[in-house]
A = this chain, B = another copy of it.
Amino acid sequence: MESRCENCIIRQFNSLRAMSKEELKQVSDSKTVKTIKKGESLFQEGDKLNGVYCVRNGVSKLSKLSSNGKDQIVKLASKGEVLGQRSVISEESTNLSAIAVDDMEVCFIPKESINNTLQKNPNFTMEVLRHMAHDLKEADDVIVNISQKTVKQRMAEAFLYLKNNFGEDEEGYLALTLSREDISNVVGTATESAIRIISEFKKKGLIVASGKRIGIKDERKLLELVEGF
């Protein structure tokens, strides 16, 4: 297990790649590695973060509690993603909770290291900016999807998303296994509705399921469904 940021492959996937050797050294010296068990939280909505989390392993759900008591999952973050950046940059408390869906391993980087680099290295700042621009674009897409598509379409889309972003295991099942409740919180619907639609998709041969695990069987038809037949 490599523990120096300078040598960490994960870094290639996020904005830390724009850091200089010196800066990385400083980050590495100040960082701490944490292990988060499935179900535990990295941080909760409303927390003031004094650093960011760089995901080494596992998956975290970023969610927000609504007034009716339900969580909405806004994003699923895995290897290479940096969590908490927004909060650190705007110096506000975070608007999302981060909870481990898997067992996770993350590096905590204190905000001083980040802010320091932001001030001194324009390349790094630009890189962070580019990432944020990308996230914002994605968020717009989510808004349009949720408001203009039916639950069924969004379910289909969610499965395709899981396949494209987290891949499949050797047996062809989605590598990321979510509970039915988590799926419903990604899609933004009632758990029962999600379960019903999963049953329907199974019957129609679009997906297969064994226990919690779900596999995509007919990607083309799922895509057609998303686009509205």
Contact = CB atoms under 8 A, between A and B. Distances in A.
Contacts of A137: 86, 90, 92, 95
A159 B85 CA distance: 32
A130 interface: yes
A130 B188 contact: no
A140 B90 contact: no
Interface string A95-124: 110000000000000000000001110100
By Cβ-Cβ distance, the 8 closest A-B pairs, closest first, are A147-B188, A66-B148, A139-B139, A90-B133, A72-B144, A86-B133, A125-B125, A132-B132
Interface of A: 64, 66-68, 70, 72, 74, 85-86, 89-90, 92, 95-96, 118-120, 122, 125-126, 128-130, 132-137, 139-149, 188-189, 226-228
B68 A148 contact: yes
Contacts of A226: 67
B139 A136 contact: yes
Contacts of A141: 64, 95
Contacts of A143: 64, 72, 74, 139, 142-143, 146
Contacts of A147: 66, 72, 146, 188-189
Nearest to A118: B126
A148 B90 contact: no
A226 to B, nearest CB: 8
A14 B126 CA distance: 18
A131 to B, nearest CB: 9
A134 B147 CA distance: 22
B125 A132 contact: no
A12 to B, nearest CB: 19
Contact of A136 (B64, B122, B126, B132): B132
Most buried by B among A128, A133, A189, A226: A133
A228 B69 CA distance: 11
Most buried by B among A85, A118, A120, A136: A136
Nearest to A65: B144
26 contacts: A64-B140, A64-B144, A67-B149, A67-B227, A72-B143, A85-B133, A90-B134, A92-B137, A95-B140, A118-B126, A118-B129, A120-B122, A125-B125, A125-B126, A128-B129, A129-B129, A132-B133, A132-B136, A135-B136, A136-B136, A139-B140, A142-B143, A143-B143, A146-B188, A147-B188, A148-B188
